[in-house]
Amino acid sequence: MTLRLILTRHAKSDWKDPLATDHQRSLNDRGRRAAPQIGKWLAGNGHVPALALVSDARRTRETWELLSPALPQPVPMHSLSALYAASPQAILRCLAATGESNVMVIAHNPGIGALAASLVARAPAHPGFLRYPTCATLVVEFDAAEWAELRPASGRVVDFVVPRDLPASTMA
C-alpha cells in the first residue's frame, strides 16, 4: 500500500498586532495571496488529500480556508491543538490516529520542516527545502500500510513548491 503525505507550513503571518498572542496571529496580505495559489498548485498537479489535519492556530486555519476552495472536491478538515508548535513526533502521532492513506498536514516550523527533512530519502534539489519557508509544500509517498510504520528517510518526494516558485501572474 502507498501512503501519501502533504506537508504545508502555514502562509506568511502578520506581526503587526502587538496584543495578539502567537496562537492568534492572522495571515498578512502576502500570506492571503500565497495560500490560494498553493491550493491551485495542489489541484493542478493532482495532489488532493482525502483529509486535512490543521493546527488550531489562526494562521494555519486561515491558510486552509484560503487554500481549500481551489481543490476539486470538499476535503474534511480536523483542527487539532496537538499540531500547534508540534514536534515531528507529535505530528506523526496525529497522523497515526487517522484511517486515511492520503493526508495533508498544515502546521508550523520548526516541527513541520524538521519532519519533512527527516522523512525523505533524498531531499528535493530546492534551495528552500531545508529552510521550509512559509507555505512551503511537500508531497511525499511511502510504501507502508499505516502511518505508524513510517521510518526516517523512507519517503519518495513527489513534489515540492514554495509560493515564489509559482508564476508571478498567479501571485498578483
H/E stretch holding 65 reads helix 58-67
Q: Any residues with CB less than 8 A from the CB of 51 and at least 6 apart, and which?
A: 75, 76, 77, 78, 98, 100, 102, 103, 104
The predicted structure's pLDDT at residue 171: 44
Q: How far apart are CA 151 and CA 149, in angstroms?
A: 6
> Is pTM, for the whole model, over 0.85?
yes
Name the CATH architecture for the domain at 2-170.
3-Layer(aba) Sandwich (3.40)
CB 86 within 8 A of CB 107: yes
| Domain boundaries, given as residue ranges, for the chain | 2-170
The predicted structure's pLDDT at residue 168: 61
Q: How far apart are CA 157 and CA 151, in angstroms?
A: 14
The predicted structure's pLDDT at residue 1: 86
CB 6 within 8 A of CB 139: yes
Query: In whole angstroms, how far apart are CA 92 and each of 11, 123, 149?
Result: 21, 19, 10
Cis upstream peptide for 74 (omega within 30°): no
Q: Could you tell me the mean pLDDT of each successive run of 10 residues in the chain, 172 residues long?
A: 96 85 91 97 97 98 98 98 97 96 98 98 96 98 96 97 81 42
The predicted structure's pLDDT at residue 18: 78
Q: How far apart are CA 77 and CA 98, in angstroms?
A: 12
